[in-house]
């Protein structure tokens, strides 16, 4: 698969800087850890009980993080599209087995970064430390709390509309069963919501 590496390097640089300003010197250090990776639809990047070693930036494509319970029911924890950072944060930090798996929902181009080396750079560079704190605060405090509130306070239609506002083309790219699981509803419920919204247009 041929692709424009310079464009995707610029994309991830913009992503990092959206959290906190990063010096060119620190960015060169991050760039030294970057590896490009092409994955096929259905390929697993992380398996249940595997210890996570890498962070993935989605250059092009889609991933999902999902959990399978003891009865074989599958729950989508997160869906990641272009510009998202994906990984099992708890597994990376603690170096413990992951409870969920990460799968490619489309043929995808990713940037992978070795977490151990990346963490070493964070502790050695103040601007990267600031980035890391801002990233954790936004994704694992603010957005996590907003999602938890949304599940309790918003109905399924509102949650679906919120998802569409963030990813307008998601329903054209990703199977409805995955979207429904991410929203905490059944595919039948999602189909009803979509039909009602189409009537209202």
Which residues, other chains included, contact 171 with Cβ-Cβ below 8 Å and sequence gap of 6+?
A: 164, 179, 194
pLDDT, tens digit (0-9, with 9 covering 90-100), for 129-140? 999 999 989 887
> pTM for the full model?
0.89
Task: Compare 33 and 70 and report the one with higher pLDDT.
Answer: 33
Mean pLDDT of all residues in 109-125 = 96
pLDDT interval class at 1 (50, 70, 90): low
* pLDDT of residue 34 exceeding 90: yes
């Amino acid at each position: 698969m041929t692709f424009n590496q310079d464009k995707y390097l610029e994309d991830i640089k913009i992503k990092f800087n959206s959290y906190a300003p990063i010096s060119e010197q620190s960015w060169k250090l991050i760039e030294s850890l970057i590896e490009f990776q092409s994955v096929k639809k259905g390929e697993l990047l992380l398996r249940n009980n595997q210890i996570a070693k890498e962070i993935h930036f989605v250059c092009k494509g889609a991933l999902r993080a999902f959990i399978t319970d003891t009865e074989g029911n599958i729950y989508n924890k997160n869906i990641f599209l272009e510009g998202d950072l994906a990984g099992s944060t708890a597994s990376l930090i603690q170096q413990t087995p992951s409870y969920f798996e990460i799968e490619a929902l489309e043929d995808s181009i990713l940037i992978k970064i070795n977490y151990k080396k990346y963490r070493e750079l964070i502790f050695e560079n103040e601007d990267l430390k600031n980035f890391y704190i801002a990233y954790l605060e936004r994704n694992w405090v603010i957005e996590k709390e907003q999602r938890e509130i949304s599940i309790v306070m918003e109905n399924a239609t509102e949650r679906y509309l919120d998802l569409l506002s963030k990813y307008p083309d998601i329903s054209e790219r990703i199977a409805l069963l995955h979207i429904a699981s991410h929203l905490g509803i059944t595919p039948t419920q999602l189909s009803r919501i979509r039909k009602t919204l189409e009537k209202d247009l």
